[in-house]
Amino acid sequence: MKHQKTGRTLGRNRNQRRALVKTMLGSLILHGRIETTEAKAKELKNAIDRHVNRAKVAASDADRRVASMRELVKSLPEPAVRRIVQKEFQDALGERTSGYTRVVKLGSRTGDGARMAVIEFVSKA
């Protein structure tokens, strides 16, 4: 039975899913937008919201700053991505409390018919 089992499996086991989301997270932060399947984009949206909120809390609350940033930095893949999260998220996303990304649905992929989408950061304006 599938009672109280949330999230998508994406046809992978737990470790592969974590690695996939982690690399896609790094690509999204570096490039600002990526094209992927709808299911992966929706999973990535949840992950990026958690990471942005952690970065914003760490930047604003001095007591939890060290522990939160240590946890966040451990989970991100590259040093360039870490710098972007630590410095640029507060300026780029302003006063938002959620909804940092948007998923724009595209057509189907020609090879296998998978539904495609673009996930991108919402601008400050």
pLDDT per residue as tens digits for the range 59-115 = 666 655 555 555 665 666 667 776 677 667 666 676 777 888 999 999 999 999 999
Residue type, 112: D
Q: What angle do CA 76, 5, 103 make, to 5 degrees?
A: 50
Determine which of 5-19, 41-55, 88-102 has the lowest per-residue pLDDT on average: 88-102
Which superfamily, per CATH, for 14-121?
Ribosomal protein L17 (3.90.1030.10)
pLDDT of 69 reads 56
Give the predicted TM-score (pTM) of the model: 0.77
**106, 118 in Cβ contact below 8 A?**
yes
To which residue do tokens 């990026």 refer? 48
- Cα(68)–Cα(33) distance, integer angstroms: 25
Percent of residues, the chain, with pLDDT higher than 90: 29
- Cα(110)–Cα(83) distance, integer angstroms: 37
